Amino acid sequence: MIFSIKDDTSDRKEFTPLEILQEMEKRRDMMMIDVREPVEVQICHLENAKHIPMGDIPSKMEELPRDKDLVVFCHMGIRSKQVMNYLRKNGFSRVYNLKGGIDRWSVEVDPKIQRYR
């Protein structure tokens, strides 16, 4: 299970950027998946995130590891939540949504990441 936060995380499916960052600093068995469109990734991106546009997820599922925690993100967290739900329905139990997306990441974690509308 992702995270060793003291509260009960077993039912949690979304985590804030700060929670994700803290966990990433402790371990390496996490994969960030950017489901935004290529034009959005050109504006800004997270280093080391795997880019798979939302519409390509069904055909790319076999490329995703089942032995890692997958953190899905988009611009604001809406599309990534849909992708998370889709992956969970298709047998991925270790998939989570980045609450607020890359926009919130730029505010809370890395202000060098360009914000956009």
Query: Which residues are part of the catalytic machinery?
Result: 74
Token code pair at residue 73: 């993100």
